[in-house]
Structure 1
Amino acid sequence: MIVETLKVFVAVTEQSNFSRAAEQLNLSQPGVSLHIRNLEQELGAKLLHRSPKQVKLTEAGSILYRHAKQILSLYHEAKEEIRHLQHAVTGSLTIGASFTIGEYVMPRLLAEFTGLYPQVDIRVNIGNTGEITQAVRANELDLGLVEGSVAYPDVEIKPYMKDEMILVAPPGHPLSSRRAVEAGMLDDQVWVLRETGSGTRAFSDAFIRDAGLSVKRSFIFNSSQGVKESVAAGLGIAILSRLVVRKELESGEICELPVKGMKLTRDFLLIRSKSLPMTMAMSVFVQKLLSLPAPPPLNLDKRLRRP
Structure 2
Amino acid sequence: MTLEQLKVFVAVARALHMTRAAETLNMTQSAVSASVAALEASCGVALFHRVGRRIELTEAGRVFVPEAEAVLARAGAAETILADLSGLRRGRLSLHASQTIANYWLGPLLNRFHELYPDIALEVVIGNTAQVAAAVRAGEADVGFVEGEVEEALLARVAVPGDRLVLVVAAHDPRAELKALTPADLLDMPFVLREPGSGTRQVFEDALRASGLDPSQLKVVLELPSNEAVVSAVAAGAGATVISDLVTASGLAMGTLKQLPLTLPARRFYALRHADRYNSRAAQALLALVREPEAVPGIAPAAPVSRPRPRARR
Q: Do the structures match in fold with TM over 0.5? A: yes
Q: Determine if the alignment matches structure 1 residue 200 to structure 2 residue 200.
A: yes
Distance 1:21 1:216 in 2: 44
User: In angstroms, what is the RMSD of aligned CA positions?
Assistant: 3.7
* 1: CA distance, partners of 2:179 / 2:280: 49
State the partner residue of 2:126: 126
Q: What is aligned with 1:272?
A: 273
From 228, 232, 235, the equivalent of 1:232 is: 235
**Structure 2: distance between partners of 1:83 and 1:75:** 11
Larger radius of gyration: 1
1:214-225 correspondence to structure 2 within 5 Å: 214-225=217-228
Unmatched 5+ stretches in structure 2:
11-24, 26-34, 47-59, 62-69, 300-314
More deviation, 179-188/140-149:
179-188
From 252, 255, 267, give the equivalent of 2:255: 252
Distance 1:251 1:73, change over 3 A: closer
Q: Does 170-179 or 93-102 show the bigger shift?
A: 170-179
Cα pair 1:95 1:122 within 8 Å, conserved: yes
Q: CA deviation at 1:183?
A: 4.1
1:113 aligns with 2:113: yes
3-state SS of 1:122 partner = strand
SS of equivalent to 1:176: helix
Q: Distance in 2 between matches of 1:94 and 1:75?
A: 13
Counterpart of 1:20, as a letter, is L
Q: By how many angstroms is 1:184 displaced?
A: 4.0
Q: Give the letter aligned to residue 229 of structure 1.
A: S
Code of the aligned partner of 1:286: L
CA gap 1:242/1:111 in 2 versus in 1, 3 angstroms: same
Could you list the runs of 4 or more consecutive aligned residues of structure 1 that deviate by over 4 angstroms after TM superposition? 21-24, 71-79
TM-score of the aligned structures, taking structure 1 as reference length: 0.69
More deviation in 283-292 or 186-195?
283-292
Cα–Cα, structure 1 residues 263 and 76, in superposed 2: closer, same or farther, change >3 Å? closer
Provide TM-score, normalisation by structure 2.
0.67
- Output the CA distance in 2 between the equivalents of 1:134 and 1:246: 30
Residues 166 and 241, structure 1, Cα contact 8 Å, conserved in 2: yes
1:172 and 1:79 map into 2 onto residues whose CA distance is 56
How far the C-alpha of 1:186 sits from its partner, in A, is 1.6
Contact 1:166 1:264 survives alignment (8 Å) = no
The answer on whether the counterparts of 2:193 and 2:220 sit within 8 Å (CA) in structure 1 is no
Cα shift at 1:255: 1.0
Partner of 1:101: 101
Give the structure 2 partner of residue 146 of structure 1: 146
Instruction: Count matched residues.
Output: 250
**What does 1:1-307 align with in structure 2 at a 5 Å threshold?**
19-20=5-6, 52=45, 77=81, 80=84, 82-84=85-87, 88-211=88-211, 212=213, 214-259=217-262, 262-291=263-292, 292-294=296-298
Q: For residues 21-54 of structure 1, what are the alpha-carbon distances to aligned partners after superposition, in whole Å with 9 as ceiling and x for unaligned?
A: 7978x9x99xx9xxxxxxxxxxxxxxxxx87476
Measure the CA separation in 2 of the matches of 1:166 and 1:72.
Answer: 41
Tell me if the contact between 2:192 and 2:221 (Cα under 8 Å) persists in the aligned partners: yes
Partner amino acid for 1:231?
V
Tell me, yes or no, if the aligned pair for 2:80 and 2:91 is still in contact at 8 Å.
Answer: no
